[in-house]
Amino acid sequence: MKRRNFLAKCIIGSAGVYTGRVLPASGFDLLITGGRVIDPAAGFDAIADVAISGGLIAEIAPTIPASNAAASVDAGGMLVVPGLIDVHVHARDAALPPAEFLATGVTTMVDAGSRGALNIPQIIDIARHAPNRLRLLMNVGVLGNNPGPNARSEFLDSLEAADVAKGHEAIERYGEWIVGIKARLSRGVSGQRDLQVLQRAIEVAEPFGLPVMIHIGDTAHPLPDLLAVLRPGDIVTHMYAPTPNGILNAEGQLLPEVIAAREKGIRFDFGNGLNEHWNWEVAERAAGQGFLPDTISSDLNVPGRASQVFDLPNVLSKFLQLGMTLPEVIARATSNAAATFRQLDGLGTLTPGEIADITLLELADGEFEFTDNYQGSRTGSQRLFTRGVIAGGQQVV
């Protein structure tokens, strides 16, 4: 709501034309010239210059004289989009530091459940030192996901590790970092207790008004049973999982409960990852029925850096292959991603006055192989590559 009011003040007309500058014209710190500026939040898609001042977006106009700026970047032939937001990553490992995500254009990211109430300080420490914005979905299991050798991951055969009181204590203490709760409901993690684990995740989140992200695929219960428990704003990740209890029936039709869940405000996230999270057949069948992701996330971890996932722009390119338009794809990793968590309000847009997080992308032509989690692949003719990154007004790539 807040954002809508703000946009109304800054933007005039349905053509998505920015008006005025919100900061003094005494000179800009940085000017990005000549790129195709796509800001889905404002419905803006045009060649334009973007001026930055004091770490904020200052002005967007067809031409801004370079003499008004201390420095400039020529973005001719490139896309200029809001800093990418990846709502499902794993940033727990020293081998894949936040700086590496930032280098691929991700200025804001959410670690999805790597740590739980008992070890969340580990990842908060990583977030504190990150050059980009790292926020956390805390795992409902007190030790999180892959806590290390000799430690039992999550809750496997007991509910004990889904400790609601410990979850509340952690949020009270570290609330500035925690944007929601993650629950992995696959049988390999939650056994037969997916519904009970989900109930506990909601109990942890509810008093703080936080969303729950559930990881589906090979759950004990059919998806409609899980969706019935979710609240508007909760998130289903791995939405195209082909394992039992996904979004399609045996004939490949979307379940009516899935359509109803979206209408109720439950969000669906892609979550590329590496194992059993999606295949092209499910993605194509669902897309053919108009069921596209609200957010496109990478689920990137260390092995994903070298296989299937690579980086968020590669994952986004898979959706160009699926037939989505460029602005539709960019929205899934900017404005839609920001709208998923209230703590990200104001991000994912180039609206004057907001933080100057900007990613410069090249949409390259060629032959590109896009792989799913089952060695299925499609050959596409376009792929996005990151060519520049501005975080908080500073050019970092």
Residues making contact with Zn ion (CB under 5 A): 112, 299
Is the separation of the CB atoms in 114 and 89 below 8 Å?
no
Nearer to Zn ion, 39 or 299 (CB): 299
CB contact set of 303 (below 8 Å; sequence gap of 6+):
274
Is the separation of the CB atoms in 276 and 217 below 8 Å?
yes
Shortest Å, Cβ 297 to Zn ion = 9
168: phi then psi, degrees, rounded to nearest 5: -60, -45
* Tokens read off for 28: 């800009």
Nearer to Zn ion, 314 or 351 (CB): 314
3-class SS string, 356-370: CCEEEEEEEEEEEEE
Nearer to Zn ion, 304 or 388 (CB): 304
Q: Give the integer Cα–Cα distance in Å for 254 and 285.
A: 9
Burial of residue 45, with CB atoms counted within 10 A of its CB: 0-12 exposed, 13-18 middle, 19 or more buried: middle
Is the separation of the CB atoms in 245 and 211 below 8 Å?
no
Nearer to Zn ion, 177 or 270 (CB): 270
Nearer to Zn ion, 112 or 210 (CB): 112
Nearer to Zn ion, 112 or 296 (CB): 112
- Cα 13 from chain centroid? 29
The count of C-alpha atoms lying within 13 angstroms of the C-alpha of 99, restricted to the half-sphere facing its C-beta, is 5
Q: Which residue is nearest to Zn ion (CB)?
A: 299
